[in-house]
Amino acid sequence: KAGVTQTPRYLIKTRGQQVTLSCSPISGHRSVSWYQQTPGQGLQFLFEYFSETQRNKGNFPGRFSGRQFSNSRSEMNVSTLELGDSALYLCASSLELGAGANVLTFGAGSRLTVL
Amino acid sequence: QKEVEQNSGPLSVPEGAIASLNCTYSDRGSQSFFWYRQYSGKSPELIMFIYSNGDKEDGRFTAQLNKASQYVSLLIRDSQPSDSATYLCAVSYRDDKIIFGKGTRLHILP
């Protein structure tokens, strides 16, 4: 059974650019959540999608957005990149809605460097 | 502001000893508690979850939850060098948001 697949694994952008990250969940998993991990702040919740709808959102500015497609694949977008957006972006999938109630399986992450 | 606090470590434990990792949380409304392990350069993976007060054992791992004192702990018996990793405590709330602690780095000394 394939795990959670995230692409790209590594990317370098400059300030002001925008980036799109992709996540394919485990087959049969309908919930996808996104996290930002940095050495200083740890793992922080960005948002969760279920049935193509955003169900939960963390405390991040509107520059961070996402969507989910009918096949449960999800993308997140960060516009007008800032240096502080450099981080490891992790996607996690779970069977049902509610990141807190279900076991999360994480992808390998997309490491974003903003110069 | 809901918070999950962990000692950042590193916590050094001799091989074969018991490693004890602790986590405190601020909101009494917390419902579910998770321990994830993250090896350097890898993504987190679930070790255990616990919902009710008391102990839950799985192999060498025991999770302990005390809701009155608002702490959850993870005990690793017979620690092995392969247990060296960062351990993340995570707490979920009624709104289903999950908050992670910043993690405790564990180093098992051979």
- How much is the pLDDT for B1? 72
Closest listed residue to residue B93, CA positions, set B29, B5, B24 = B29
CB contact under 8 A, B32 and A45: no
In this structure, the strands spanning B54-58 and B45-50 are: unpaired
CB contact under 8 A, B103 and A42: yes
The model's confidence at residue B90, banded by pLDDT at 50, 70 and 90, is very high
- How much is the pLDDT for A101? 63
The model's confidence at residue B97, banded by pLDDT at 50, 70 and 90, is confident
Each residue's pLDDT expressed in tens, for chain A with a length of 115 residues = 679 999 999 999 999 999 999 999 999 999 999 999 998 889 999 999 999 999 888 999 999 999 999 999 999 999 999 999 999 999 999 887 765 567 889 999 999 999 9
- Per 3-state DSSP, chain B is made up of helix, strand and coil in percentages (nearest 5) of 5, 55, 40
Tallying the residues shown for chain A, one arrives at 115
- How much is the pLDDT for A25? 96
pLDDT in tens, B23-66: 999 988 888 899 999 999 999 999 999 988 899 999 999 999 99
Contacts of A43 in chain B (CB under 8 A): 44, 88, 100, 102-103
Contacts of B101 in chain A (CB under 8 A): 42
- How much is the pLDDT for A98? 65
pLDDT in tens, B10-20: 999 999 999 99
- How much is the pLDDT for A92? 95
Mutate to test the interface with B, among A9, A55, A104, A105 (most CBs of B within 10 A): A104
Residue of A nearest to B39 (CA): A108
State the amino acid at position B96 in one-letter form.
D
- How much is the pLDDT for A100? 59
In this structure, the strands spanning A19-24 and A5-7 are: antiparallel
Give the C-alpha separation, B52 to B55, whole Å. 8
